Amino acid sequence: MSVPDFAARPQLSEDVARYVRKRIFDGTYSAGEYVRLDQLAAELGISVTPVREALFELRAEGLLAQQPRRGFVVLPVTGRDLADVANLQAHVGGELAARAADNIDDDQLRELKAIQAQLEQAYAGNDIERTVRLNHEFHRAINVAAASPKLAQMMSQITRYAPESVFPVITGWPAQSIKDHRRVLTALGKRDGESARRAMSEHLAAGAVPLIDHLVEHGVVDADDGAS
């Protein structure tokens, strides 16, 4: 896997956290493996300070544990945790979509449709990084339109634990996501809050099972961790 140019980026710790999180969810870092602070900083060509901040952030998320004199160790990812995250996303995201339906203006709706069109092009071109970025922009635009910054901030915190980079490679998910997003857009266009809530909640909840199945198949999640 190629290493991004971290040295040229602001908010380095967030970028490093995203990088390590992706490695955990794609199986590069397996449960029980140590993430070495100095080694990772050297690999990324940056100082240890943003790496340390990132690892502390991931510890707070429950993805890493800190061992005295040994550093940070990767904790197991469980299906139950992923299902819990999806359920929380479905509830909070549904509420944000309902509020967005009440507040969204024509310019915001046009922006959303443009993002979705670009996202569908990215899916068609199998451009994983672009699909992840555009999908994030799509949901963020809805959350902004909801005009509920505290609730949107809560959603952002929840989403950090959701492995966004995995979804584009899950068999069948791109087509399902496109269908779901179009449904959300239709509800927002009609300013139908309850339909927007239902469409978004069902979209976010629907990802849990295929995500867990995918991660079990790739050895990231234990099939017998009690996810059901």
Give tens-digit pLDDT for 175-202.
999 999 999 999 999 999 999 999 999 9
Q: Distance between terminal CA atoms of the chain?
A: 33
Decide which of 74, 91, 117 is a domain's last residue: 74
CA atoms of 16 and 153, how far apart (whole Å): 20
What φ, ψ does residue 166 adopt, rounded to 5°? -85, -35
- DSSP states along 53-102: HHHHHHHHTTSEEEETTTEEEEPPB-HHHHHHHHHHHHHHHHHHHHHHHH
| Same domain membership, residue 193 and residue 83 | yes
Last residue of a domain, one of 27, 46, 74: 74
For residue 99, give the CATH number of its domain: 1.20.120.530
Q: Is the dihedral of CA 173, 17, 201, 211 positive or negative?
A: positive
Task: Calculate the CA 2 to chain-centre distance.
Answer: 20
Q: Supply the range of the domain harboring residue 118.
A: 79-217
Q: Do 44 and 16 form a contact (C-beta atoms < 8 A)?
A: yes
Percent of the chain at pLDDT above 90? 72
Over residues 196-218, the mean pLDDT reads 94
Structural element, H or E, at residue 136: helix 128-145
Rg of the chain over all Cα atoms, to the nearest angstrom: 18
pLDDT-derived band at 54 (thresholds 50, 70, 90) equals very high
Q: Is residue 222 part of a domain?
A: no
User: Which two structure tokens, joined as six digits, stand for 215?
Assistant: 């991660």
Q: What is the CATH number of the domain that holds 35?
A: 1.10.10.10
- Per-residue pLDDT at 142: 98
Q: Within this chain, do residues 34 and 92 fall inside the same structural domain, yes or no?
A: no
Flag the least confident range among 81-95, 172-186, 214-228. 214-228
* Cα 196 from Cα 194, distance rounded (Å): 5
> What is the count of structural domains for the chain?
2
Contact between 222 and 216 under an 8 Å Cβ cutoff? The reply is yes
Residues 107, 202, single domain; the answer is: yes
Co-location of 86 and 41 in the same domain: no
Three-state SS letters, 27-54: CCCCCCCEECHHHHHHHHCCCHHHHHHH
pTM of the model: 0.82
Of the three residues 53, 74, 95, the one that is the final residue of a domain is 74
CA distance 201 to 205: 6
Residue 71 backbone dihedrals phi, psi, to 5 degrees: 100, -150
Q: Are residues 83 and 166 in the same domain?
A: yes
Q: What are phi and psi of 44, to 5 degrees?
A: -90, -10
Tokens describing residue 58: 């991931």
| 227 within domain boundaries | no
Whether 94 and 185 share a structural domain? yes
The answer to whether position 223 is within a domain reads no
> Residue 3: inside a domain, yes or no?
no
Q: In the Cβ-directed half-sphere of 197, how many Cα atoms lie within 13 Å?
A: 9
Q: Is residue 86 domain-shared with residue 62, that is, in the same domain?
A: no
pLDDT recorded at residue 1: 58
User: What pLDDT, on a 0 to 100 scale, did the predictor assign at position 227?
Assistant: 54
The answer on 139 and 166 residing in a single domain is yes
Average pLDDT, the chain: 91
